[in-house]
Amino acid sequence: MIVRDQYFLHIMILILMWVAIGSGWNLISGYTGQVLFGAAAFFGVGAYTAALLMHKLEISAWWGLPLGALVSVALAFPFGWICFRLRGPYFALATLALNEILRHIATIWESLTEGMMGILIMQTFVAKEPYYYIALALAALSVVIVSGVMESRLGYYFVSIREDQDAAESMGINTTFYKMVSLCLAGLLIGLAGALYTNYMGFIDPHVVFSLHNISIMAILVGIVGGVGTVYGPAVGAFIMVAIDELFRSGGFGLLAALGKSTGWQFMDSVTKYVSQAHTLVFGILVIVVILYLPNGVVGDWEVVKKRLLFWKREAA
Amino acid sequence: MAFFEAKGIVKFFGGLAAVNSVSFSVEEGQIYGLIGPNGSGKTTIFNLINGFFPLSHGEIFFRGKKISGLKTHQICRLGIGRTFQVVKPLKRMTVVDNVIASAFLHAGSKNEARALAEEIIEFCGLVPYKDKPARSLPIASRKRMEIARALATKPKLLLLDETAAGLNPSELEEAISLIKKMSESGITLIIVEHIMKVIMTISHRILAINHGVVIAEGTPEEVAANHQVITAYLGEDYSAQS
């Protein structure tokens, strides 16, 4: 029972962390319309800041939360200044490049980052509960920040830029500046999540925290599945995506393996193995289904979900 | 010093001079008409004024200050608003939100921006559409919303790009009365228009261009009687007869 509770807590911590990352992604991509294809760049920078503080300077990795967020913003600022001259897919590609550049730097610069060896730090708490509450606070903070920002002048400017950049510019909005504000806020939230990840997991290496697939693309999926440009979309998306990810990784939460054991079917072993590797494929299918049937995500198209999938209310004739 | 002045503005697209040494000046409070056949460079002139395109040569002055070389949003802040020929509504926002987003330019708080937006929406006769998403509006109301959005930036000079195109006769009357109302409230207007009824009745002065070159400038009567203008619009035959 304790083991299962610990496992449940672990999943919850991951979900809450993804709420923060998804909210950050949603600010720049969902609301401001500048697709961020390299969320891992900010995540990894936050994570490495926390890890290096402990590893090199022997300062508590918890300082990595404010500092990681700061470094992440310090990265977002010049990047935005240079790359917001690019529009649409070209900007998205630039963020992808940033992601890959940082991953290579972290791999090659062994004197600083230990390269592929990764950095191991001592976790502060043995139990998971403290991490759970910190992650919960972070997730709540992200949702509060996003909803606060979207009610303010910034929110109006972000959406104006998404809807029509030329119109926004001729309405007196300094589009380059406000896109940078949006990117910095996104970097802040994603960097915080990265620093928390280091503290929680106690180990990072370049392929984990700068992962294109497990971080950058996952961030996009969380945003799209939950609902692009909705405050609670990333929260819902984080639940769905982490649950699906975990379901496949663990072979139906261990059900397939258990079934193999109880029936004595030898082939269940390989089924389990294939299923756990199939989660990428399922992600792909899920994205196609969501884009086709719920282009505004689960939250954005909640009415459709209610009618079509849950048969909430029959349409009156 | 004129209120608004363009001095020898030139714009090359590759080897083609879309606008070729055009000069004109507008006095405060005027309605200044800009006419010319399709592709003569009217919208390009607007894009040069509000900084979408950089000038190839020439200078533009607004209230004694050189504005050529500034960014679009800086020019807007100085008091030049514009609407677009191909309307650019912020589609997934409501009409009132469209105007609020614009009103934030000179408003300190959201309440202030909202109050200004409500006032302008009433001025433009958009009250029934206020809470509808912009994409659901018919073309006439979209054009009004563009005007409302431009007005929310509190312009001293407003560039209207074919506000009356595609409207039916009753909508046209409303558009004309809105333009007159704006002029009476003290805003200087430069309008591009194809519909001669509109431009001839409301303009104080008119600039006619063809192939990016000025062919006539003067009062509506002078321009209407000008041979080159008639030639540009109707061809040599009509020009010769008159």
pLDDT at residue number A316 = 45
Alpha carbons A80 and A62: distance in angstroms, whole number: 27
* CB atoms A163 and B52 under 8 Å: no
Q: Residues near A74 by Cβ (< 8 Å), separated by ≥ 6?
A: none
How far off is chain A from B157, nearest CA to CA, in Å?
Answer: 13
Of A156, A171, A174, the CB nearest to B153: A171
Closest to B157 (Cα-Cα) out of B180, B124, B190, B119: B190
- For the residues A71-82, what does the mean pLDDT come to? 93
CA separation for the pair B35, B37 (Å, rounded):
7
- Please spell the DSSP secondary structure of B178-225, one letter per residue: HHHHHHHTT-EEEEE-S-HHHHHHH-SEEEEEETTEEEEEE-HHHHHH
Q: Taking the CA atoms of chain A, what radius of gyration do you get in angstroms?
A: 20
Task: Report the 10 Å Cβ neighbour count for A313.
Answer: 9
- Residue A252: the pLDDT is 67
pLDDT bucket at A3, cuts 50 / 70 / 90 = low
In angstroms, the Cα distances linking A244 to A19, A64, A253, A266 are 15, 30, 10, 25
From chain A residues 47-66, the ones with a CB under 8 A of any chain B CB are none
With CB atoms and an 8 Å threshold, state whether A170 touches B93.
no
The DSSP line for B134-146 is GGGS-HHHHHHHH
| A263, pLDDT greater than 80 | no
Out of A119-128, A185-194, A251-260, the most confident range is A185-194
pLDDT digits (tens, 9 = 90+) for A200-212: 998 999 998 998 8
How far B236 CA lies from chain A's nearest CA (Å)?
A: 40
Q: Is the pLDDT of residue A2 over 60?
A: no
B37-63: pLDDT as tens digits: 888 889 999 999 999 999 999 999 999
Say whether A164 and B93 touch across the interface (CB within 8 A): no
A157 with B104: Cβ contact below 8 A: yes
Residue A191 has pLDDT above 80, yes or no: yes
User: Using the beta-carbon criterion (under 8 Å), do B149 and A171 form an inter-chain contact?
Assistant: yes
Contact A175 B153 (CB under 8 A): no
What contacts B124, CB < 8 A, 6 or more positions away?
A: B144, B145, B147, B148, B151, B178
- pLDDT bucket at B239, cuts 50 / 70 / 90: low
How many Cα atoms are found within 13 Å in the side-chain-facing hemisphere of A281? 6
Q: Average pLDDT over chain B, rounded to whole?
A: 90
Contact call for residues A167 and A18 (beta carbons, < 8 A):
no
d(CA B142, CA B162): 12
CB-based contacts of A316, cutoff 8 Å, min separation 6: none
Q: Domains, chain B, ranges and CATH?
A: 4-241 (3.40.50.300)
- pLDDT tens digits, B106-135: 988 999 999 999 999 999 999 999 899 999
Q: Which of A244, A236, A233, A226 is nearest to A280 (CA)?
A: A244
At A232, phi and psi to the nearest 5?
A: -95, -5
Interface pTM (ipTM) of the complex? 0.89
Residue ranges of domains in chain A: 2-309
pLDDT in the model for residue A183: 95
- The CATH architecture to which A2-309 belongs is Orthogonal Bundle (1.10)
pTM of the model as a whole = 0.89
B9-22 pLDDT tens trace: 999 998 889 999 99
Taking the Cβ of residue A87 and every Cβ of chain B, the question of whether any pair is shorter than 8 Å is answered with no
A151, A153, A169: residue with CB nearest B73: A169
A 119-158 → B contacts, CB under 8 A = 151-153, 156-157
With a cut of 60, say whether residue B242 has pLDDT above it. Answer: no
